[in-house]
Amino acid sequence: MNPGMAKAVLISTYDLGHQPFGLASPAAWLKREGLDVECVDLARQKLDDRVVQDADLIAFHLPMHTATRLAAAVIRKSRRLNPSSRICAYGLYAPLNDAWLRSLGVDDVLGVEFEADLSALARRVANSAPPAVDPALSEPQRSSPRRLPKLQFITPDRSGLPPLNRYASLQASDGTRRVVGYTEASRGCRHLCRHCPVVPVYDGEFRVVQPDVVLADTRTQVAAGAEHITFGDPDFFNGPTHAMRIVQKLHEEFPAVTYDVTIKVEHLLKHADLLPRLAGTGCLFVTSAVESIDDRVLGLLDKGHTRHDFEESVRLCRDAGVTMVPTFVPFHPWMTLDDYCELLDTIVRLDLVDHVAPIQLAIRLLVPSGSRLLELTEMRQVTGNFDANTLTYPWEHPDPRVDDLQAAVAALVGRRLTSHRRELFEAIRMLAYERAGRPAPQHLGPGSGVLVPQVDEPWYCCAEPNPEQLTLV
């Protein structure tokens, strides 16, 4: 850090194995304000106490539940090491946990579309303004909602982050490993799925990142060694024209660079004509949050698709030459042991065993603060009071055998992280059939032998790992 300049530290605790866009983007904005900025990604780096002690502003990026829980100890430590610093939290999970964060010592809670507000706060810190900031920067967004700003983004600054080869990599279908970059073409979502953490903050809005910024960010990462790009948009087809313009230009400039995106089932059906164009521009796979194959449950979750829609989307992707990677939240209050077996059988029937990360078969429904799930009488009947230790509304299944199965599947996945997907799937299926009192299922065949492209940190959507399962360096 440079003497005489106001100093800001941006901290990420966990970001799904990606080099954090949520640090790179605000780093560029704060440097434009003249601040000396240091980025610390605790998923890949140790925190030097001196960095915190010297900081005028310490800002934590909280894009998900796990990152927020992991941040608690670091926030307390930062406040202890530097009582006079301004501590800020920003990102999706910051406004959802406003009071809790303040109880830890956070001064300012910003939300999503945070870059301009964080810059305004940094200016006050740099100018030694009084501690009280503009109330718009610190009021909880849920209780005092503001219309989300439309920002004119600037190219993220990734110069202070660990190199891309220290992050998640892609296993391609030919067995090779590729360095993975990450960027965002849009943020937020038009849809209101009840279980989604994006909804309480964005409330059906989404914001695009200007194409020239997305492409400049991608260009920087390719120059740093990226051979594949993950687009982290909650739904890449919220703005299909915008999205396709970007990947077309990306492919024209870097024809050897591949990419992956996340798209809702209903958008795969609505924009089926675009799927061949995805394949033609280098899209290796599409992640889609299927969540359930039970139409009643899909209705409760307000997913906007049916079981038939899911099966049709699998066919459409296959015909277009794009690998579909479905994600699930199989354990919820309305699931039975037989339902779970049927889900596994459906995955087999649709030839998706190699497409599904085993952890997806262990996911238990998460009910964080602000969740629309609490609108449902069926959900309120099984949930307890908010638990500040887990930052969730805990719930128990009416049938204890279901919770026991979930724990057993999670333990099995945890013990066999390096197992082949088909072997682990078969073990899970045998366990499920045994717990349901069914005869053992027929053994799986060897499969086609074709590797499904996959990133080696397969946590998606609400499928977040328990913080106790993570070891930060």
Q: What residues does 262 pair with on adjacent strands? A: 287
E strands within 62-183? 86-90, 108-109, 169-171, 177-183
Distance of CA 419 to the CA centre of its chain: 24
pLDDT of residue 4: 63
Host H or E run for residue 38: strand 36-41
**Superfamily of 7-138 according to CATH:** Response regulator (3.40.50.2300)
pLDDT of residue 417: 79
pLDDT of residue 5: 84
pLDDT along the chain (473 residues), means of 10: 78 96 98 97 96 97 96 97 97 96 97 96 86 46 62 97 96 92 97 95 95 98 98 97 98 98 98 98 98 98 98 98 96 98 97 95 95 95 94 96 97 88 95 96 80 75 43 34
Amino acid sitting at position 381: Q
Domain with CATH 3.40.50.2300 in the chain: 7-138
In the three-class reduction of DSSP (H, G, I as helix; E, B as strand; rest coil), residue 41 is classed as strand
Distance CA 88, CA 110 (A): 7
CATH number of 164-469: 3.80.30.20
- Beta 169-171 vs 108-109: how paired, if at all? unpaired
pLDDT of residue 139: 45
Q: What are the pLDDT digits (tens) for 196-219? A: 999 999 999 999 999 999 999 999
pLDDT of residue 1: 46
Burial 238-259 (b: 16+ CB within 10 A, else e): bbbebbbebbebbbeebeebbb
Amino acid sitting at position 18: H
pLDDT of residue 456: 84
pLDDT of residue 465: 47
Distance CA 129, CA 31 (A): 19
pLDDT of residue 446: 77
Distance CA 265, CA 263 (A): 7
- Beta 108-109 vs 323-328: how paired, if at all? unpaired
pLDDT of residue 136: 46
Q: How many CA atoms lie within 13 A of 162 on its CB side?
A: 18
pLDDT of residue 129: 60
Domain with CATH 3.80.30.20 in the chain: 164-469
How many other CB atoms are found less than 10 A from the CB of residue 377?
7
Q: What DSSP state is assigned to residue 420?
A: -
